[in-house]
């Protein structure tokens, strides 16, 4: 006989009991390891999704709303020895089946054959004509297969900003009938996406030349996709700088023979200040600003629609004007007369305000020489190339009835030759706009030197100054994936109660096991084993059991993880928003899981049996004594004061003094209260008055019984109270925005609808004339919001995002709307929106986002700064000044319109709309807007639905928590059943005796049910009471949603389930004829286990 054989014998003899313990350990190991595997797998999946969406792309060159030469790609490739593919990426929509199948948000990607090297697939090569490659998700949505045809509509791109003055908005999209050439999956870059998000966009690839022709562009691109894994972004930026040409900045140089000048002009109509500044050193140069006036008026006579330009004439001061003789004849004016010039100034969203200014005629000139320079009119698409005035598409309303035959004649003869000239300073004073204040730079032809011009450009104009920036997309993507939601921690948190329940259960099983072997331990002690030897013997056994349990747990964890993955890909899809989850099994994780579960089980069991060993040495052969030592009792009393008083204090303080009921503080109060109540319950359980009381009743008898085995009773109590607390507090905290209605303070801001377009709307929806033009008849108010695209920082994205989309909003409108959860110190609640209009030194701009986005989406806190590059290539720092309660803006960061336009002046139109409409008109308005803006890719949803979608993530986490918590409660019930079965066995003699004393079976069942149901109900009541405090904000907040029915149902189910098992086991344990007096306890314990 050796120690080893003794251990093996013991293990085999107590096999059933050991299997039970192994099962308990296996469950905890599975939950623990499963959480670690899930975490690894989510990281792995996000990492893989980065590879799937980027292919070989390591860096990108992107431009905000501007276009460079397609050839730039080739030049950068040669210069840097990288693989570079140009791409023109635009928004669009796709329609098939005669409009029955429609996808409004399609990423339209124009590529050439170089894309093959990026995608590692030849399917993108030789795309010709109308051939397109579709991502499989888009093909699935549109029910398309190879060879099928469908309609594609693409947001019309313009070399000039669409909101710039005199840019036509007549054509907002281009469409064509496409033929599906190939369908691309994740391995052939079908999931191509340059944003850090795990969800795949709907991609449509077509040839770059086709897309250029649709946009009426000539070999343009807005992205360079670079594969240069061994280069950093600085090296690529330097290469780009070397290759960047004036054409990439949209600049054109041409000779103006009439004036003997050379002109620098821009595709963007207005030349950026940085460019103007760069060319300041050019000698004999001047800035020109040519503007389109609505009319020149004198004494009721009117010359409509004329260009007015600037001229270098030092005699022109203040409101002096030079007109040509055609106008002088038309208006019948002479030198010195004062004429009225009317013109539009353009606000945001092409809001036109007609202004007028009187000018004094300084000179009347003939249309020749510098006064007959038709090149002064900028190249305005829709205007410059119009054959007749009636064909003008000027981006401003043209009243055709004002156009006379003589105007047509002027146009035919002189085109856009300015009819009047004013000083540059005056022109810039009245016509300066966010897009610029110069339409051309004119240089004396003899002074102009092309190499000097190019040299000035290279030295002073960098791509980043024009918003063309290099980004390490792969590095950022992997970083975002690694900093994303840690699902290991999340699932460990979500499984917390389940873990605690299994650990308690393991400790309980081990204690019961040990108790059943009391006599064996006594025998070992009597034959000379030391306590230390016995402890080692027992712990060696426990170690073996833990290893077996841990190994079994590893196996179960694979099934558990598969099950969780299945749930995450189906039932809990909202938590991940992707079906790309792939299991990543790492030996290190499995090893860690095994070691952790062994260590935890050993520690738990060791802690549990320590007391038992000490006790057994002294009292091995005696009956139990549950009397409490005074010191321990005092410690417990102290702990009760230290938990309950702060808990109640915190609740009272919150209710009386805090304007906002903070859920976290109430949860803390609830948890403290739970601890205190459990300690009180423990004292109640141990209460067994020694005072002489000669009465004996069933009640007193029950009290006596309950005071037996308080350790076991406490375990049951803790399991049920903790389970109830967690299940109720999570169940009740499920967000339900429907309850908040459309209150202004809610996350909807009081707005009914949230709409989004893939093509920007360039006009104001509130403009009466515009509504008439579009045929909008219903009455509503729209809030238009401009957007700078960024990553989605909402909880729908698992990656950690550093640059979410920026929205430009009017803070005035949001006063008294929405609710803030956090704010920067020193800002009053009402001042938060006002503060958004401020700007700080160093281009620091105040910003607001949803608190959940700040905390979880970006991993930031209030006061932190987000770094962007604005349109001018300058750093834009957004300082987070406040966090909104969950709102429709989730995923974005808000800045004031003022700051938005200052930093992104060329940003055209609105993509987002909040619609305020009375309920009775809501449906009609929705239908009408959907019809009117169908071609804009208009997607409209109620604000409540939008918040519900965001809440679905949080609610899914709560569902997981609830499901795992319920699993924990089931284990709690299993624990109760085991304890009850074990106790019935131990009390077999007692039951037999009571039967012999004349107790009926029903009385005995009643006694047992009473005794154990008391524990169950005390546990549930303790958890319930504490949970009620934890969910108090939901109970008290107007509109707070707590489903009492759900809570009641949960509590009732817990109690019914518990009482059912107590009843069943009690009936079984008191079945006469099946039990008898038995002093061989060990055999009995074996029998029941």
Site for another protein contains 618 (CB under 8 A): no
Dihedral sign (CA 652, 657, 661, 662): negative
Judged by CB under 8 A, which stretch of 432-440, 623-631, 819-827, 855-863 contacts another protein? 623-631
Judged by CB under 8 A, which stretch of 206-214, 843-851, 954-962, 1076-1084 contacts another protein? 1076-1084
Q: Choose which of 230, 315, 588, 697 interacts with another protein (CB under 8 A).
A: 697
Least spacing, CB of residue 854 vs another protein, in Å: 58
Site for another protein contains 3 (CB under 8 A): no
Least spacing, CB of residue 1069 vs another protein, in Å: 15
Q: Choose which of 100, 177, 588, 1079 interacts with another protein (CB under 8 A).
A: 1079
Q: Cα angle vertex 801, ends 800, 804, to 5°?
A: 155
Least spacing, CB of residue 715 vs another protein, in Å: 18
Cβ distance to another protein smaller for residue 338 or 1000:
1000
Site for another protein contains 1081 (CB under 8 A): no
* Alpha helix (H) residue ranges in 733-828: 768-774, 811-814
Least spacing, CB of residue 624 vs another protein, in Å: 7
Q: Choose which of 78, 645, 867, 993 interacts with another protein (CB under 8 A).
A: 993
Rounded distance between C-alpha atoms, residue 78 and residue 67, angstroms? 20
Which residues sit opposite 296 in a β-bridge?
303, 341
Site for another protein contains 692 (CB under 8 A): yes
Judged by CB under 8 A, which stretch of 377-385, 669-677, 894-902, 1074-1082 contacts another protein? 1074-1082
Residue 106, classed as helix, strand or coil, is strand
CA 712 to chain centre: 46
In 3D space, the residue among 362, 299, 358, 355 whose CA is nearest the CA of residue 331 turns out to be 299
Site for another protein contains 623 (CB under 8 A): yes
Judged by CB under 8 A, which stretch of 409-417, 990-998, 1017-1025, 1081-1089 contacts another protein? 990-998
Least spacing, CB of residue 697 vs another protein, in Å: 5
Least spacing, CB of residue 1010 vs another protein, in Å: 13
Rounded distance between C-alpha atoms, residue 1039 and residue 888, angstroms? 17
Least spacing, CB of residue 687 vs another protein, in Å: 12
Rounded distance between C-alpha atoms, residue 802 and residue 139, angstroms? 32
Least spacing, CB of residue 682 vs another protein, in Å: 17
Q: Does residue 1030 contact residue 670 with C-beta atoms inside 8 Å?
A: yes
Cβ distance to another protein smaller for residue 401 or 690:
690
> How many CA atoms lie less than 13 Å away from 1077 in the CB half-sphere?
5
Least spacing, CB of residue 989 vs another protein, in Å: 5
Cβ distance to another protein smaller for residue 615 or 665:
615
DSSP state of 547: H
Site for another protein contains 15 (CB under 8 A): no
Rounded distance between C-alpha atoms, residue 239 and residue 428, angstroms? 37
Site for another protein contains 1000 (CB under 8 A): yes
Site for another protein contains 622 (CB under 8 A): yes
Q: Choose which of 465, 506, 561, 708 interacts with another protein (CB under 8 A).
A: 708
Which positions from 272 to 311 touch another protein by CB under 8 A, shown as an x/- string? ----------------------------------------
CA 777 to chain centre: 36
Which positions from 1014 to 1053 touch another protein by CB under 8 A, shown as an x/- string? ----------------------------------------
Site for another protein contains 690 (CB under 8 A): yes
Helix (H) or strand (E) holding 884: strand 875-884
Q: Choose which of 1, 527, 656, 997 interacts with another protein (CB under 8 A).
A: 997
Least spacing, CB of residue 612 vs another protein, in Å: 17
Judged by CB under 8 A, which stretch of 98-106, 331-339, 619-627, 645-653 contacts another protein? 619-627
Site for another protein contains 213 (CB under 8 A): no
Q: Choose which of 641, 653, 698, 840 interacts with another protein (CB under 8 A).
A: 698
Least spacing, CB of residue 993 vs another protein, in Å: 4
Site for another protein contains 1073 (CB under 8 A): yes
Cβ distance to another protein smaller for residue 274 or 1010:
1010
DSSP state of 628: P
Rounded distance between C-alpha atoms, residue 346 and residue 293, angstroms? 12
In 3D space, the residue among 986, 1005, 993, 992 whose CA is nearest the CA of residue 1064 turns out to be 1005
Q: Choose which of 639, 995, 1017, 1021 interacts with another protein (CB under 8 A).
A: 995
Buried b (16+ CB within 10 A) or exposed e, 325-362: ebbbebbebeeebebebebbebebbbebeeeebebebb
Q: Choose which of 16, 143, 390, 624 interacts with another protein (CB under 8 A).
A: 624
Site for another protein contains 920 (CB under 8 A): no
Q: Does residue 308 contact residue 289 with C-beta atoms inside 8 Å?
A: no
Site for another protein contains 1083 (CB under 8 A): no
- Burial, 181: exposed, middle or buried (Cβ in 10 Å; 0-12, 13-18, 19+)? buried
Cβ distance to another protein smaller for residue 634 or 1000:
1000
Site for another protein contains 561 (CB under 8 A): no
* Alpha helix (H) residue ranges in 315-404: 325-331
- The first and second tokens of residue 24, run together, are 């308990």
Residue 16, classed as helix, strand or coil, is helix
Helix (H) or strand (E) holding 996: helix 988-996
- The first and second tokens of residue 291, run together, are 């503007």
- The first and second tokens of residue 140, run together, are 């699935």
Site for another protein contains 630 (CB under 8 A): no
Q: Does residue 457 contact residue 249 with C-beta atoms inside 8 Å?
A: yes
Q: Choose which of 989, 1010, 1043, 1057 interacts with another protein (CB under 8 A).
A: 989
Q: Choose which of 738, 970, 992, 1059 interacts with another protein (CB under 8 A).
A: 992
Helix (H) or strand (E) holding 845: strand 844-850
Site for another protein contains 1076 (CB under 8 A): yes
Q: Does residue 306 contact residue 398 with C-beta atoms inside 8 Å?
A: no
Q: Choose which of 13, 402, 701, 1081 interacts with another protein (CB under 8 A).
A: 701
Q: Does residue 359 contact residue 338 with C-beta atoms inside 8 Å?
A: yes
Site for another protein contains 628 (CB under 8 A): no
Judged by CB under 8 A, which stretch of 20-28, 620-628, 769-777, 957-965 contacts another protein? 620-628
Site for another protein contains 147 (CB under 8 A): no
Site for another protein contains 881 (CB under 8 A): no
Contacts for 671 with CB less than 8 Å, ≥ 6 apart? 725, 1026, 1030
Site for another protein contains 704 (CB under 8 A): yes
Site for another protein contains 990 (CB under 8 A): yes
Q: Choose which of 696, 775, 920, 1038 interacts with another protein (CB under 8 A).
A: 696
Rounded distance between C-alpha atoms, residue 931 and residue 483, angstroms? 42
Rounded distance between C-alpha atoms, residue 974 and residue 1065, angstroms? 12
Cβ distance to another protein smaller for residue 401 or 625:
625
Which residues sit opposite 138 in a β-bridge?
none
- The first and second tokens of residue 549, run together, are 């349990």
> Which residue carries 């918590």 as its tokens?
965
Cβ distance to another protein smaller for residue 543 or 701:
701
Rounded distance between C-alpha atoms, residue 395 and residue 349, angstroms? 12
Strand extents, DSSP E, 277-436: 285-288, 291-298, 301-310, 320-324, 338-346, 352-365, 420-422
Q: Which residues bind another protein (CB under 8 A)?
A: 622-625, 688, 690, 692, 694-698, 700-701, 704-705, 707-708, 989-990, 992-1001, 1003, 1072-1073, 1076-1077, 1079
């Amino acid at each position: 006989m050796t120690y080893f054989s003794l251990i093996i014998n013991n293990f085999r003899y107590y096999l059933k009991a050991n299997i039970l313990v192994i099962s308990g350990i296996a469950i905890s190991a599975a939950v623990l390891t499963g959480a670690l595997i899930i975490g690894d797998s989510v990281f792995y999946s996000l990492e893989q999704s980065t590879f799937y969406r980027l292919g070989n792309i390591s860096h990108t060159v992107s431009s905000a709303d501007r276009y460079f030469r397609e050839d730039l790609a080739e030049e950068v490739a040669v210069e840097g020895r990288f693989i570079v593919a140009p791409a023109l990426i635009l928004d669009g929509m796709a329609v098939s089946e005669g409009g029955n199948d429609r996808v409004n948000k399609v990423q339209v990607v124009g590529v050439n054959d170089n894309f093959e090297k990026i995608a590692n697939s030849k399917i993108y090569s030789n795309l010709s004509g109308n051939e397109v490659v579709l991502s499989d998700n888009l093909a699935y949505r549109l029910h398309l297969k190879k060879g099928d045809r469908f309609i594609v509509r693409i947001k019309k791109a313009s070399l000039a900003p669409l909101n710039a003055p005199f840019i036509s908005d007549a054509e907002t999209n281009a469409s064509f009938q496409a033929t599906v050439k190939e369908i691309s999956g994740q391995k052939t870059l079908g999931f191509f996406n340059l944003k850090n998000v795990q969800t795949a966009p709907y991609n449509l690839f077509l040839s770059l030349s086709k897309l250029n022709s649709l946009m009426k562009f000539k070999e343009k691109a807005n992205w360079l996709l670079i594969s240069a894994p061994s280069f950093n972004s600085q090296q690529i930026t330097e290469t780009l700088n070397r290759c960047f040409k004036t054409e990439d900045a949209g600049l054109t140089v041409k000779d103006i023979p009439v004036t003997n000048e050379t002109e620098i002009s821009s595709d963007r109509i207005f030349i950026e200040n940085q460019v103007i500044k760069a060319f300041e050193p050019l000698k004999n140069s001047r800035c020109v600003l040519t503007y389109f006036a609505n009319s020149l008026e004198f004494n009721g006579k009117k010359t409509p629609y004329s260009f007015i330009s600037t001229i270098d004439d030092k005699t022109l001061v203040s409101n002096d004007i030079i007109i040509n003789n055609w106008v002088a004849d038309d208006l019948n004016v002479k030198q010195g007369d004062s004429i009225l010039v009317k013109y539009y100034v353009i606000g945001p969203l092409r809001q036109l305000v007609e202004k007028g200014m009187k000018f004094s005629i300084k000179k009347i000139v003939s249309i020749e020489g510098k006064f007959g320079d038709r090149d002064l009119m900028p190249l305005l698409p829709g205007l410059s190339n119009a054959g007749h005035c009636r064909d003008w598409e000027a981006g401003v309303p043209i009243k055709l009835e004002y156009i006379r035959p003589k105007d047509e004649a002027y146009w035919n003869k002189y085109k856009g030759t300015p009819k009047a000239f004013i000083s540059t300073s005056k022109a810039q004073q009245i016509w300066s706009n966010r897009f610029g204040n110069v339409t051309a730079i004119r240089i004396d032809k003899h002074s102009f030197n092309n190499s000097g011009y190019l040299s000035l450009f290279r030295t002073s104009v960098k791509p980043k100054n024009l918003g063309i920036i290099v980004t390490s997309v792969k590095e950022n993507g992997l970083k975002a994936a690694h900093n994303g939601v840690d699902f290991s921690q999340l699932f460990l948190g979500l499984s917390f109660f389940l873990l605690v329940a299994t650990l308690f259960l393991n400790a309980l099983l081990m204690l019961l096991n040990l108790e059943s072997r009391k006599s064996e331990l006594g025998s070992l002690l009597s034959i000379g084993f030391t306590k230390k030897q016995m402890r080692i013997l027992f712990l060696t056994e426990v170690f073996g059991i833990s290893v077996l349990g841990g190994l079994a747990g590893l196996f179960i964890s694979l099934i558990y993880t598969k099950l969780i993955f299945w749930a995450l890909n189906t039932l809990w899809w909202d938590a991940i928003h992707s079906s790309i989850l792939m299991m990543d099994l790492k030996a290190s994780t499995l090893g860690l899981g095994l070691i952790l579960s062994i260590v935890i089980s050993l520690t738990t069991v060791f802690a549990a049996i320590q007391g038992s060993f000490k006790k057994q040495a002294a009292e091995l052969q005696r009956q139990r004594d549950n009397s409490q030592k005074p010191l321990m009792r005092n410690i417990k009393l102290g702990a009760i004061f230290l938990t309950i008083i702060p808990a109640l204090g915190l609740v009272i303080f919150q209710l009386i003094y805090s304007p906002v009921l903070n859920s976290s503080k109430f949860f803390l109060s609830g948890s403290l209260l739970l601890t205190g109540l459990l300690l009180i319950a423990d004292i109640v359980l141990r209460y067994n008055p020694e005072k002489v009381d000669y009465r004996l009743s069933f009640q007193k008898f029950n009290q006596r019984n309950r005071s037996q085995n308080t350790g076991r009773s406490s375990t049951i109590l803790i399991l049920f109270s903790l389970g109830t607390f967690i299940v109720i507090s999570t169940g009740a905290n499920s967000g339900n925005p429907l309850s908040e209605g459309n209150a202004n303070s809610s996350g909807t801001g009081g707005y009914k609808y949230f709409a989004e377009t893939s093509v920007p709307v360039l006009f104001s929806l509130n403009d009466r004339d515009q509504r008439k033009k579009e045929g909008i008849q219903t009455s509503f108010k729209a809030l238009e919001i401009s957007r700078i695209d960024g990553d989605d920082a909402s909880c729908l994205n698992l990656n950690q995002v550093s640059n979410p989309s920026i929205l430009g909003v009017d803070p005035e409108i949001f006063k008294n709307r929405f609710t803030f959860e956090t704010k920067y110190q020193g800002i009053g609640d009402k001042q938060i929106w006002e503060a958004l209009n401020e700007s700080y030194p160093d281009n620091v701009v105040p910003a607001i986002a949803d608190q959940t986005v700040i905390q979880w989406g970006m991993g930031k806190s209030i006061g932190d700064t987000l770094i962007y590059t604005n349109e001018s290539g300058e750093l834009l720092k957004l300082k987070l000044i406040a966090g909104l309660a969950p709102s429709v803006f989730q995923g974005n960061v808000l800045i004031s319109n003022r700051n938005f336009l200052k930093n992104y002046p060329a940003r055209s139109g609105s993509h987002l709309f909040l619609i305020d409409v009375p309920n009775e008109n809501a449906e009609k308005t929705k239908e009408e807007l959907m019809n009117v803006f169908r071609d804009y890719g208009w997607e409209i949803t109620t604000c409540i639905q939008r918040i519900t979608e965001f809440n679905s993530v949080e609610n899914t986490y709560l569902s997981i928590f609830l499901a795992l918590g319920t699993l924990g409660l089931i284990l709690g019930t299993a624990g109760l059943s085991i304890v009850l079965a074990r106790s019935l066995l131990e009390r077999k003699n007692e039951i037999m005796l009571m039967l012999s004393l004349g107790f009926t079976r029903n009385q005995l069942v009643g006694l047992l049910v009473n005794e154990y149901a008391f524990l169950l109900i005390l546990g549930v009541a303790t958890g319930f009471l504490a949970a009620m405090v934890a969910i108090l904000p939901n109970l008290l907040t107007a509109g707070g949603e707590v489903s009492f029915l759900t809570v009641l149902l949960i509590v009732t189910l817990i109690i019914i389930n518990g009482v059912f098992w107590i009843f069943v086991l009690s009936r079984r344990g008191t079945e006469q004829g099946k039990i008898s007096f038995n002093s061989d306890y060990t055999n009995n314990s074996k029998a029941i286990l």
